Amino acid sequence: MKRGKSGITASEKQKTSATQLGNLNPIFVKGDPVHYHSVIGGPHDDKIYVIRGIGCLPGNREVAWLEGKAGCVDLEALSHVEQTKGGTK
């Protein structure tokens, strides 16, 4: 197979991001309660969101769609809700 300037073959270029969904970050799954950080690594907004879907954008950017939030957010902008004995915190 002939590799182009980018170093990948023509057949590799044809793979869609949907093909790569099996390789998504296993830390987050649909239905997980999470906090959203508008600045990655910064404080969260004190709200609890539930992941309603996870996907992969072109360029292998892993994103999630959250209940109560428009559009998708980068998985790096999420953190798990801490569990306490009485429920979620």
For 27-69, the pLDDT digits (tens) are 899 999 999 999 988 999 899 999 999 999 988 899 999 999 9
Residue 67, domain member (yes or no): yes
Residue 42, domain member (yes or no): yes
pTM of the model: 0.64
58/16 Cα distance (integer angstroms): 8
Which residues face 35 on adjacent strands? 79
Q: Which of the pair, 10 or 39, is modelled with greater confidence?
A: 39
For 56-70, letters b (16+ CB in 10 Å) and e give beeeeebbbbbeeee
Residue 78, domain member (yes or no): yes
Query: In total, how many domains does the chain have?
Result: 1
State the residue range of the domain holding 33: 16-88
Residue 84, domain member (yes or no): yes
Counts for the chain of helices (H) and strands (E), in that order: 1, 7
Q: Extract the tokens encoding 75.
A: 């998985």
Q: What size, in residues, is the chain?
A: 89
Phi and psi, residue 63, nearest 5°? -135, 165
